[in-house]
Amino acid sequence: EIVLTQSPVTLSLFPGERATLSCRASQSVSSYLAWYQQKPGQAPRLLSYDASNRATGIPARFSVSGSGTDFTLTISRLEPEDFAIYYCQQRSNWPLTFGGGTKVEIK
Amino acid sequence: QVQLQQWGAGLLKPSETLSLTCAVNGDSFSGYYWTWIRQPPGKGLEWIGEINLSGNTNYNPSLKSRVTISLDTSRTQFSLKLSSVTAADTAVYYCARRRSGTTPFDYWGQGSLVTVSS
């Protein structure tokens, strides 16, 4: 099983600041990585897929990069609606797995 | 617009079988994996398993002995059964869609809280 480790666990920032979230895989997942945003009481929302593609309707302030084992989600300037939990997910090997999540909270 | 609408029993006793159904509106089954994912309260996401139109299934090894995912193509619904539940199976269960050969789950159901308690 591929383990995805997200860091930090919690990120405390002010609106307008830049957020940098990391996802590290226990073995290469090539580019087969997706990112999701989840708010309380809601299903996860797809942000990006295959390492660098933004999903439909996702603002340009969200960018992703990486391949192999190290991936980054960057939010260039945090808007109030961006405070949420973010998960990464791989499909390189079964079972499909998710990272433990990074909570982006208002400082 | 694709919509996934899910339902099922929300309160179970230990050893009972969890049963959830997800109806797919606005799309066919072809070309996708139809998936179940769960999230224990306050915790992260766990992939349970998936099925495609051909009936091919993939299950999480940690749950494989207790899980069955099936399709009802006539109704464009798919279902999850998880047997011999315990308190550790208490979670919000989501159905979701993943295009075959791709990574992401692009559409999700609204989630169903299933509580296992004696």
Q: Distance (Å, rounded) from C-alpha B114 to C-alpha B80?
A: 12
C-alpha pair distances (Å), A26 with each of A6, A79, A103: 11, 32, 21
Q: What is the tens place of the pLDDT at every residue in A59-97?
A: 999 999 999 999 999 999 999 999 999 999 999 999 999
Measured between beta carbons, the chain B residues lying within 8 angstroms of A101 are 44-45
Q: Return left, alpha or beta for B85; rule: phi > 0 is left, psi -120 to 50 is alpha, else beta.
A: beta
Say what the pLDDT of residue A52 is: 84
The arithmetic mean of pLDDT across residues B43-64, rounded, is: 96
Model confidence at B28, pLDDT cuts 50, 70, 90, reads: confident
Say what the pLDDT of residue B50 is: 96
Residue B12 pLDDT exceeds 80: yes
Residue B29 pLDDT exceeds 90: no
- Is B109 at the interface with chain A, CB within 8 A? yes
Model confidence at B62, pLDDT cuts 50, 70, 90, reads: very high
SS3 state at A50: coil
Instruction: Give backbone dihedrals phi and psi of B73, rounded to 5 degrees, phi first.
Output: -70, -30
Instruction: Give backbone dihedrals phi and psi of B86, rounded to 5 degrees, phi first.
Output: -130, 180
For the four alpha carbons of B50, A41, A5 and B65, in that order, the dihedral sign comes to negative
- Written as six digits, the tokens of A67 are 């391949």
Say what the pLDDT of residue B101 is: 86
Q: Percentage of chain B surpassing pLDDT 90? A: 87
Measured between beta carbons, the chain A residues lying within 8 angstroms of B99 are none
Closest to A83 measured CA to CA, from A104, A65, A55, A52: A104
Scanning the structure block, which residue is given the tokens 């992260």?
A: B44
The arithmetic mean of pLDDT across residues B41-69, rounded, is: 96
Model confidence at A51, pLDDT cuts 50, 70, 90, reads: confident
C-alpha pair distances (Å), A99 with each of A14, A20, A68, A102, A104: 24, 15, 15, 9, 15
CA gyration radius, chain A: 13
Say what the pLDDT of residue B73 is: 82
Query: How many inter-chain contacts (A to B, CB under 8 Å) are there?
Result: 56
